[in-house]
């Protein structure tokens, strides 16, 4: 385990308890953080390279084109704090331009965080790397060594879109409190667009996203004493126009009863488990959301096709 702060450890009982809460609700759900075991992290990495999955390419292009402009807005000797840091590629673009003394990656996937930390300590040796293994949606304690440094929070990938409206405001307000007075936040936000572009991004022709979604059931089989037959569930990606979001579901092909941690859970034929949302925003809508959490949007950049946006908040 790399040197750092290990602030939360997911156990099998935690996974089972969270799964039971969602699967025994009137409308069955599972928390998206359960996607990210070792297999899930690898599958998500494969998703980001798919031709249909535009967000990673668009956001990376913005960061490469605007990294110098972003760095010019941040005081020297800063700490870069990344929320949801299972892959360091985007942070590395920023660190190559920032005058940074520290990098704080925060992620719940311990194995991915360990690997990231080893790579970053090799490629950016002048920067101190302090990994924090934790659920980034919960409050975290930052290392004492960075308290006096200017702070730039970084939340890429439009992960903010996985949260509902109130959750997003609470998260952004929590980040503002954690980073402290005078800090900035750089955040990636996916933009509203045609479902003809959105649906393939979440239901690709190769079936990689389907495998990613179904892996959550396989994880429950491994870690929560469940007996899901993944062949009896189908991946579905749906555009909810009223809520402006893509929804990912796992649909039961038949009426069936599964067991999890000794509890029976019944499914009707066609019933779904809602596994993830991915909200899409107009630029004004996101700026309004950020303002409700106490942030001010100072600069917004988009890719040439206006698929994706990156916002600097202060």
The model's pLDDT over 166-225, given as tens digits with 9 standing for 90+, comes to 999 999 999 999 999 999 999 999 999 999 999 999 999 999 999 999 999 999 999 999
Q: How far apart are CA 107 and CA 94, in angstroms?
A: 18
Which of 265, 263, 267 is closest to 250 using CA atoms? 267
Domains along the chain with CATH numbers: 1-308 (3.40.50.150)
Q: DSSP letter string over 162-223?
A: GS-HHHHHHHHHHHHHHH-TT-EEEEEEEBP--HHHHHHHHS-TTSHHHHHHHHHHHHHHHH
- From residue 157, alpha-carbon distances to 161, 257, 309 in Å are 9, 36, 10
- Residue 301: how many other CB atoms lie within 10 Å: 18
pLDDT for 241: 97
The model's pLDDT over 297-310, given as tens digits with 9 standing for 90+, comes to 999 999 999 999 99
Angle at 9 between CA 27 and CA 264, to 5 degrees: 35
Residue 269 near residue 119, CB atoms below 8 Å: no
pLDDT for 109: 85
* Element spanning 151, H or E: strand 151-155
Higher pLDDT, 8 or 103: 103
The model's pLDDT over 212-267, given as tens digits with 9 standing for 90+, comes to 999 999 999 999 999 999 999 999 999 999 999 999 999 999 999 999 999 999 99
pLDDT for 112: 87
Residue 107 has pLDDT above 70, yes or no: yes
What does the mean pLDDT of the chain come to? 95
The tokens describing 230, both together, are 């993944």
Return the percentage of the chain with pLDDT > 90, whole number: 92
Kindly report the pTM of this predicted structure.
0.93
The model's pLDDT over 9-68, given as tens digits with 9 standing for 90+, comes to 455 568 999 999 999 999 999 999 999 999 999 999 999 999 999 999 999 999 999 999
Residue 166: partners with Cβ closer than 8 Å, 6 or more residues away: none
pLDDT for 12: 57
Packing angle, helices 110-123 and 38-48, rounded to 10: 60
Under DSSP, is residue 84 helix (H, G, I), strand (E, B) or coil? coil
Residue 1 has pLDDT above 70, yes or no: no
Distance from first CA to last CA of the chain, Å, rounded?
34
Give the mean pLDDT of 67-71. 98
pLDDT for 5: 44
pLDDT for 80: 98
* Element spanning 82, H or E: strand 78-83
* Element spanning 272, H or E: strand 272-279
Pairing of strands 245-252, 233-240: antiparallel
DSSP state at residue 299: E
pLDDT for 14: 87
């Amino acid at each position: 385990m790399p040197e750092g702060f290990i602030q939360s450890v997911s156990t099998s009982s935690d996974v089972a308890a969270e799964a039971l809460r969602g699967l025994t609700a009137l409308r069955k759900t599972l928390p998206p953080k359960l996607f990210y075991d070792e297999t899930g992290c690898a599958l998500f990495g494969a998703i980001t390279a798919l031709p249909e999955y535009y967000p990673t390419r668009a956001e990376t292009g913005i960061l490469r084109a605007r990294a110098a402009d972003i760095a010019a807005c941040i005081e020297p000797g800063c700490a870069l704090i990344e929320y949801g840091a299972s892959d360091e590629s985007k942070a590395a673009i920023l660190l190559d331009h920032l005058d940074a003394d520290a990098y704080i990656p925060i992620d719940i996937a311990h194995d991915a965080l360990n690997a990231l930390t080893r790579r970053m300590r090799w490629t950016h040796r002048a920067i101190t790397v302090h990994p924090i293994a934790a659920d980034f949606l919960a409050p975290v304690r930052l290392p004492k060594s960075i308290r006096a440094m200017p702070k730039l929070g970084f939340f890429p990938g439009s992960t903010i879109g996985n949260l509902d409206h109130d959750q997003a405001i609470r998260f952004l307000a929590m980040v503002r409190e954690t980073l402290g007075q005078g800090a900035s936040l750089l955040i990636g936000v996916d933009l509203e667009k045609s479902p003809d572009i959105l649906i393939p991004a979440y239901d690709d022709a190769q079936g990689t996203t389907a495998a990613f979604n179904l892996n959550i059931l396989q994880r429950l089989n491994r870690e929560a004493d469940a007996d899901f037959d993944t062949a009896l569930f189908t991946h579905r990606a749906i555009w909810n126009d009223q809520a402006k979001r893509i929804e990912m579901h796992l649909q039961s092909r038949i009426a069936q009863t599964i067991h999890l941690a000794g509890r029976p859970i019944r499914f009707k034929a066609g019933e779904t488990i809602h596994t993830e949302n991915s909200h899409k925003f107009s630029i004004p809508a996101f700026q309004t959301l950020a303002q409700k959490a106490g942030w001010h949007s100072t600069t917004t950049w988009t890719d040439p096709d206006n698929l994706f946006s990156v916002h600097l908040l202060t």
